A and B are shown apart, each in its own frame.
Chain A
C-alpha cells in the first residue's frame, strides 16, 4: 500500500514557540491532504484540508492563523502550530487519498505527538 510519513514523530516545545509538522506522501502524489487532531482514546477530529497550490480549507472552530497549513508540493504538506500553548498538546495525524486505484482510499501518517510545556 501507499506510504505516508510524518516528521517529527514527537516534539516537546515551550509555550509561545512555533512547531512545524511535515506530512509526506512517499510513493504517490497527493493534491489533497487532511490534518486531524486526536485526543487520547478519542476520535479523530478533522482540522483542515490541505490543497496543493491553493489555500487550505479549515473546519469550523479551527483557527487558521494558529494552525498554518502549506501544501508546497504534490508530496508535502506542513502544519505549523504558531505560538503553541499547553492546550495545543495533542496527537496530530495527516492523511492523503491516492487517486489510483481508488481515490476513496486514504492513507494515514503515523502521527506526531506534540507536548507544549
Chain B
C-alpha cells in the first residue's frame, strides 16, 4: 500500500527566508505526486503536480525517485504563503483516482 509522510507538522519562517516542506513517499508503482494547499477558511486546492514541472506562486517541487521524495521549496517566503500544505500521491491500477495524503504541514510565515 502507498504511504505519504510529511515529517514536520509545523514550520515557521520569517518573510523573505527560504522554505522547504518535506515529503517522502512509498509506492510500488510509478508515482504521480501533488502538493495541495489549504488557506485559512478556504477549500483544499491544487498547488502543483510533479508531471507539470511548473512553478506556482514561486513554489517548485522535484520528484526524486532515488530518495522517494517530493519536497516543496520556495526561495523567498511571503506572509500570504501561511497555510496548511498537503503532499499527496495518486495511485494507479484499480485504485485509480484515489489520493493518499500526508499528515500535512502548517506553514507560518512571520513578518
Contacts and interface: CB of A to CB of B under 8 A. Distances in A.
Contact of B32 (A32, A46, A104): A104
Interface in A43-99: 43-46, 49, 93, 95, 97
Interface of B, secondary structure class, is strand
B79 to A, nearest CB: 19
A interface, size bucket? 20 to 34
B104 A42 contact: yes
Interface string B29-56: 0001000000000111110010100000
Interface stretch (A10-18, A19-27, A107-115): A107-115
B43 A34 contact: no
A106 B97 CA distance: 8
A100 to B, nearest CB: 14
A41 B101 contact: no
Contact of B97 (A42, A44, A103): A103
Contacts of A95: 44, 99
Contact of A44 (B42, B44, B90): B44
Given A49-B98, A109-B43, 14 more contacts: A41-B84, A41-B104, A41-B106, A42-B103, A43-B101, A44-B86, A44-B101, A49-B97, A93-B44, A97-B97, A103-B97, A104-B49, A104-B90, A108-B44
13 contacts: A32-B97, A41-B84, A42-B103, A43-B101, A43-B102, A43-B104, A44-B86, A46-B100, A46-B101, A93-B43, A104-B49, A105-B46, A111-B43
